[in-house]
Structure 1
């Protein structure tokens, strides 16, 4: 109902008498909940008249700007997630598995196969009527993640044989109503379900188990001694067997499936990098966050070795994140078609907690820890001097910035190629006005020009960590002409920065409102992004702001329409 944007028609604060009427309606609808819990006496209540994406009018009641209730067509009041989190017992609950949450967040109804039965027989779905309001929670968290109406009565649900719709969802975590007031957004409170522990299952033959076995026939000890002797014999028989605890059983069964500690498969490296990213940045992640940005900016830097998704069994990032969603680490929502964002992270996930504990207690081997702490190298650099600043600032390098030795010649080559400075007959470089200030008017080879430029730069060394990305090729933006003298923008070397091309195409189509595609030119080794029109500035802004690509790694900004360089 609120998955897609709705239109706000009016907003008005309720008077004191109107608030009292609303409170009376709430007390009538939810008589088992005190009125002060439903609507505080001195609260500021606002009534919103909205029109949903499907054209259905509705009322939303906000308390101190936070949506707390909304109305259905017949006037029935429905609590929002914020109300359910503050007053959990306002509605009955249906429980589903955590892997179902992404499907519900994408607009699906809760189906019967996903419902955890409440009991056995006719009581497995409770005693509810059709269209009764039901809250939905998860097996690992008793807090509500959605609210809806029963598609059938409990008896009819039982007769369906485990097929069909159970709850028609009205409001979900992550929808537009939940995000009505961005400054007051709340994540799902983590309230763990009560689970059985090892203490509930004592070892066979242990004293606790003997007490449990003998406890049942104790009332008959005075009248029938034989059952006692039989019980004692059964206890002795059990105690004579090998006592297996749950811990031993689970360890024995887990041994064949557990990977070797020394085994470093691509999947385990990816999983460890994912857990490390959540460990170091879980509370700092700017949610909602593009999944590609999360992988590129947070997961890849945590990897001990380079990650190649194509060598894993997932093949694609979306497949890996889908498995992480099923395991309950994150919640992903499709913002628009082909563009996914992470909207919440479970930092209390048991596996993540254990991973954090292992790292803090130094469970990793000394060799691995040493590799992570001291993995660095000394690189030879050239520093942009005052004399060469005029040339390098055009290529998004600042005065005093270091450039690796092997990168300088590449920069000069790309500049010369972009400005067509090579004489087709002599194959020598004809310096333009910028290069003439550094190299003079004399034509020369590319190596000669590079030597002259580096001779006017400061030579230095820099200690770089294993996360240094200076070796990546720069993203090249250029303009070309197609049929009918129509300009197109070409962008190359995007994949080197971990950017997913299909996602970038979606963002370009939406933001630039221009035809976007991937092309492969005969003289190019890699694919290029082609966008209709002069979209240089839009591409630059998208790469630097959305994908956080350093400005110095992007060439071609001077080709923008206004000819001005964006100041960071």
Structure 2
């Protein structure tokens, strides 16, 4: 449902009374969970109306910018993985094997062959109804990796003979809803799963549930609870006469956004010096989402607002005569102005996701540094609980062995030092054997990684070149190594620098390069460091930037 980008139709900050009604709906739908931790009384609750890539209209409820619930057609409330991590027992679970996670992340539903049975016989798939909300976790981690709806009731699942869809997935770890607020992304928390024993599979007719069943299938999930859920399905904020208050309804924010949009869209075209009154009338007012009333803002007057913008460094204003002010300069490389192009206008039916994705995401297998292996990995600057990609483990072990261990020149077998002896014993072993012994004492997991991870990546190289007509162009290499979505970067360059931008393949070059017309070194540097958060040390070529406009004599 949220595998691909969705369109944001509107964003609304819920008032106190509206938030109470939402809390009441949640308490009816999930009566066994206390909502005080999920939805505190004074929390900032936002309602997002979205349109998925498949054309499905939905509502997402965010608490302190983090998506916690979304609404299906008909009004049924569904918890996100963030909610499941905060309140693990809000839904019953189906467990699958960890190797199934990459397939689910690619948009597949959970099939019956991938479900680990809860018991034997008719108890194999619990006692659930078709359409009931089900969370999915993996055999080595109790934390939820996704949420979906049961494709059939439990009896029908048992009669299917191990074929067909078990859970229709609605929301997954790593999808666009999980990544709604990039600054608040969380990886799957590790909750060690209990080893299954014969006690987890009671004989038919047994009345006592095993501890595992009590965790996965609490007593509250009976027919009565399902009826309660169904009874609240038709409720919605609109039916209760609630009014929507958008973020832009704040007069100050409405004015500031219109000002930034005016500079962003018209900054290169402004004929300076320009009367402040004309700038406001011709450029700011048309960019406003709603009618601006200066008297309702804290500024009260246009001159007071522009004075604040001067203090923040956006513009320079000069008073030519008494009462006549003109804008004489505009800083189009102001960080806030550069970043403004990534914000989606609320209420724009053609808008993209709540925040335009800037990076490619990739699900990676990881090994987590455990207490047993901490003594080894801390010598290599890795912390306890830190995830290490599978393909890096052997490289790390190889580097450690080459520095601290003795290798038999004939057999190529390694003699472990004192640290490795604690993990592998005292016998000689090959590099692969030592690596396997170390990973066997670590937790296996998955993490959603993106271009924000800069370790081991080549530096981004910025340079200048000359094209036909003695025109300068800016070339940028190694961008793809950081997982940056090139189409989005090109869009930002065209809008922010107002210059022709394209991807070129130069002779004798292995990778493609970004080409921007003119000397845009400083703009590219600011864009990469401010918007994409690339560390400055990872970028070369800033010394080629313009020092400033040459003064005419």
TM-score interval, smaller chain: 0.3 to 0.5
Give me the TM-score of the superposition, normalised by structure 2: 0.45
Give me the TM-score of the superposition, normalised by structure 1: 0.44
Name the one with the larger helix percent.
1
Higher RCO by CA contacts (8 Å cutoff, separation 6 or greater)? 2
